[in-house]
Amino acid sequence: MTLTITKIAEDLAAGRCSSREIMDDLLARIKAHSALNAFISVDEEAARKDAEAADRTRRAGGGVLAGVPIAHKDIFCTSGVKTTCGSRMLADFVPPYDATVVQKMKAAGCIMVGKTNMDEFAMGSSNETSFFGPVRNPWDHDRVPGGSSGGSAAAVAARLVPAATGTDTGGSIRQPAALCGITGLKPSYGRVSRYGLIAFASSLDQAGPMAQSAADCAHLLSAMAGFDERDATSLDVPVPDYAAALGKDLKGLRIGVVKEHFAQGVEPAVLDVLREALREYERQGAVLVDVSLPNSAHAVPCYYVLAPAEASSNLARYDGVRYGFRASEYRDLEDMYKKTRSEGFGPEVKRRIMIGTYALSAGYYDAYYLKALKLRRLIADDFARAFERCDVLAGPASPSTAFALGAKNTDPVSMYLNDIFTIPVNLAGLPALSMPAGFVGGLPVGMQLIGRYLDEARLLNVAHRFQEATDWHTRVPAGI
């Protein structure tokens, strides 16, 4: 089965298959590839019932997504369905409501297959911090899929689902999309509602689509984007028909080649793949322009002050009193707090809470947090100057292909540097995507495209035109 949204929609409309048949096939595939550990939970009975309901109502019409199966990252609240955020702290939490993204996908006709594995509270770049165990890369089971949306990326790459949702705080859609060889889009901050998305760093978190192609992501973004009065950061601006904007020629398009992104620290073979991808754009009439983002070198330390600071505040709600995990033995209230948080959170989450609390503490707020905010402004200004000279920016999504499981667990700084090219985008609130651009040693390489604020339509078209001319996004791991 060719699991693109467009192909599924065509087959359903032509009566060549039913939603129930597709669902049965996918559920069998999920079982067959359970070693990937891509899912935390799968509700087979509900998925089959929803598929049958979609078949009954299809006669009344429906959009492209009607009857299409989808998986949600286990950070989105789903009414009556366990939502764990990859943590022991929420291992048995069942929300009483749906996140806005989940609501919108339901309204578009999508059928939820299950909830995908993820780094605990979205904190990680390898999907190894999950309480439910690491996810494995479909291209090589001894390597990581990237994180924190590694379960979603692995599920799409292994064709267990045609599409999945993810969240991106510092690269958590784009980096796993790159390492797993799929297309993943981080929209502009505020384009997609964060209501019902369990918070990590509220000024950075953004939900987005993950799928095989840019065309599929266009359909998904059209469904999930839009204003939500329940989210104070949601933008009240029109949502374009992203799919209708695909297919425009690229003649005269100015692609900014970021000097700092093609420098030392990136695997030479990865750069070779990206340079060949840029040559394809030149063949289509695009013009390459050299640009610089001088403050991007400071993005990682800036991010690892701001994001942990926000996390320390957001995660204070998990105290064992109201909901979630509670330690079984304790002397008094204060001891219950301490033991609950010590036992409920994993090492990486505790590390970031402590860093954030330190940065916000009296005597250090000005020295760290305030300086990081000023640096964030400088990083955003760099992007603004670059976009005066070009229409999109291009570079690597990750400095390397997928690394081995456990290779960086003892070196947090080395792990954090995996997001060196994605973090600046979140600090500036811009849209960006990663798409497959080639392979190195049998492992996929992702190219990152960065756009102006709210210019997702152009980004998706630029990626789509590349995918029309190449077949990297159609490659499937051996044995899948």
Q: Indicate the pTM of the whole model.
A: 0.96
Q: What is the band of 62 on the pLDDT scale with cuts at 50, 70, 90?
A: confident
**Pairing mode, if any, of strands 111-116 and 69-73?**
parallel
How crowded is residue 403: how many other Cβ atoms within 10 Å of its Cβ?
20
Q: Catalytic: 296?
A: no
**Residue 389 in domain:** no
Q: Catalytic: 49?
A: no
* Residue 175 or 363, more confident: 175
In the chain, the amino acid numbered 449 is L
Domain span holding position 170: 5-248+432-446+456-474
Catalytic residue among 149, 172, 312, 434: 172
**Residue 368 in domain:** no
Q: Which residues, including other chains, have CB under 8 Å from residue 69's CB and lie 6 or more apart?
A: 19, 22, 23, 26, 47, 51, 110, 111, 112, 113, 161, 162
Catalytic residue among 19, 73, 152, 222: 73
Mean pLDDT, residues 19-28: 96
**Cβ atoms of residues 212 and 182 within 8 Å:** yes
**Residue 343 in domain:** no
Q: What is the pLDDT of residues 394-450, one digit of tens each?
A: 999 999 999 999 999 888 888 988 899 999 999 999 999 999 999 999 999 999 999
Go through the chain and tell me how many residues it has. 480
Q: Which CATH number does the domain housing residue 15 bear?
A: 3.90.1300.10
**Residue 407 in domain:** no
**Residue 43 in domain:** yes
**Cβ atoms of residues 397 and 106 within 8 Å:** no
CA 480 to chain centre: 22
**Can the peptide bond before residue 148 be classed as cis, meaning omega within 30 degrees of 0?**
yes
Give yes or no for residue 2 having a pLDDT over 80: no
Alpha-carbon distance of 271 to 267, in angstroms, equals 7
Buried b or exposed e, range 151-170, using 16+ CB within 10 angstroms: bbbbbbbbbbbbbbbbbbbb
Q: What is the pLDDT of residues 229-253, one digit of tens each?
A: 999 999 999 999 999 999 999 999 9
**Residue 61 in domain:** yes
Catalytic residue among 19, 126, 148, 152: 148
Mean pLDDT, residues 26-49: 97
Tell me the sheet residues that pair with 115: 41, 72
**CA-wise closest residue to 158 among 184, 140, 146:** 140
Q: What is the pLDDT of residues 196-205, one digit of tens each?
A: 999 999 999 9
**Residue 47 in domain:** yes
DSSP secondary structure letter of residue 369: I
**Cβ atoms of residues 456 and 220 within 8 Å:** no
Residue 465, CA distances (Å) to 177, 214, 258, 265, 434 in order: 18, 9, 21, 29, 14
Q: Catalytic: 172?
A: yes
**Residue 40 in domain:** yes
Tell me the sheet residues that pair with 444: 439
Domain count, the chain: 1
Q: Which residue stretches of 90-173 are H helix? A: 100-107, 150-157
